[in-house]
């Protein structure tokens, strides 16, 4: 891969982590093109940006790319039920991964979640774990999975409603920070994005970064 002309696919650019990924990729001199895949356009204009408004259930062929960043995510409540949640967090992310892989992407960055485990009794964690397993099956040069705890960020800036659980939990977790395990500390979406931006271009093989380790970025 020519690192001077990296071509990248990003899914989830309107989200907390995805928004920071988009900013970082557009500002990176080694990135030539950023192909954003989504159901609606982003409110950003840039010479590198290529917007693809698509039906995530049937993604058309993409241009040749080197990397793919998967940051699509919702909650069961916001989605409106388990099936709708799975359609976004599992089906849509995996569809983007396949579409990018088919046109050459061999470096993958995936936003997962604390507790992700395909055998979990918790539906949310099980879906996240199943997605990790599915993405890790691709034969890539590198796949970097990040597992953040509670995400911190300005959802209003993105035009999203505040999530009550985040609003209530964040100050409580901050107060209890001295006694809580580091892996459970709330973490800024910007740090999560910085970890992927730093690791995906140079990583080798599969790597899972815990929320505790994400705090260092």
Interval 59-70 mean pLDDT:
97
Its CATH class, for the domain covering 6-211, is alpha beta
Q: Name the percent of the chain lying above pLDDT 90.
A: 78
Interval 14-22 mean pLDDT:
95
At residue 208 the predicted structure's pLDDT band, cuts being 50, 70 and 90, is very high
Report how far apart, in Å, the C-alpha atoms of 206 and of each of 10, 106, 132, 133 are: 19, 12, 11, 11
* 3: nearest Cα among 63, 46, 67: 67
Q: What is the pTM of this model?
A: 0.89
Residue 1 has pLDDT above 60, yes or no: no
The CA distance from 56 to 126, in Å, is 21
Residue 60 has pLDDT above 80, yes or no: yes
The pLDDT assigned to 185 comes to 84
The pLDDT assigned to 14 comes to 93
SS3 state of residue 101? helix
Q: What is the pLDDT of residues 173-203, one digit of tens each?
A: 665 666 778 898 889 999 999 999 999 999 9
Token pair recorded at residue 25? 């990729």
Residue 165 has pLDDT above 60, yes or no: no
The pLDDT assigned to 107 comes to 98
Residue 211 has pLDDT above 70, yes or no: yes
The pLDDT assigned to 65 comes to 98
At residue 8 the predicted structure's pLDDT band, cuts being 50, 70 and 90, is very high
Estimate the crossing angle of helix 93-102 against helix 123-136, to 10 degrees.
Answer: 10
Which residue has better confidence, 109 or 40? Answer: 109
Average per-residue pLDDT for the chain: 91
The pLDDT assigned to 178 comes to 67
Which residue has better confidence, 157 or 216? Answer: 216
The CA distance from 44 to 25, in Å, is 13
Token pair recorded at residue 68? 């793919």
């Amino acid at each position: 891969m020519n690192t001077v002309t990296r071509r990248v696919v990003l899914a989830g650019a309107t989200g907390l982590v995805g928004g920071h990924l988009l900013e970082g990729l557009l500002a990176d001199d080694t990135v030539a093109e950023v192909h954003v895949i989504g159901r609606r356009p982003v409110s950003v204009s840039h010479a590198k940006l290529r917007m693809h408004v698509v039906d995530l259930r049937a993604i058309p062929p993409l241009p040749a790319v080197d990397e793919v960043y998967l940051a699509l995510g919702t909650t069961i409540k916001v989605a409106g039920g388990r099936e709708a949640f799975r359609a976004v967090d599992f089906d849509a992310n995996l569809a983007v991964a396949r579409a990018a892989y088919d046109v050459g992407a061999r470096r993958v960055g995936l936003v997962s979640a604390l507790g992700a485990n395909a055998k979990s009794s918790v539906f949310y964690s099980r879906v996240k774990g199943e997605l990790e397993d599915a993405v890790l099956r691709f034969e890539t040069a590198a796949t970097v999975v990040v597992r953040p705890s509670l995400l911190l960020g300005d959802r209003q800036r993105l035009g999203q409603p505040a999530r009550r659980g985040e609003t209530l939990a964040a100050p409580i977790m901050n107060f209890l920070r001295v006694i809580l395990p580091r892996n459970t500390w709330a973490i800024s979406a910007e740090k999560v994005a910085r970890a992927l931006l730093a690791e995906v271009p140079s990583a080798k093989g599969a790597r899972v970064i815990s929320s505790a380790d994400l705090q260092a970025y």
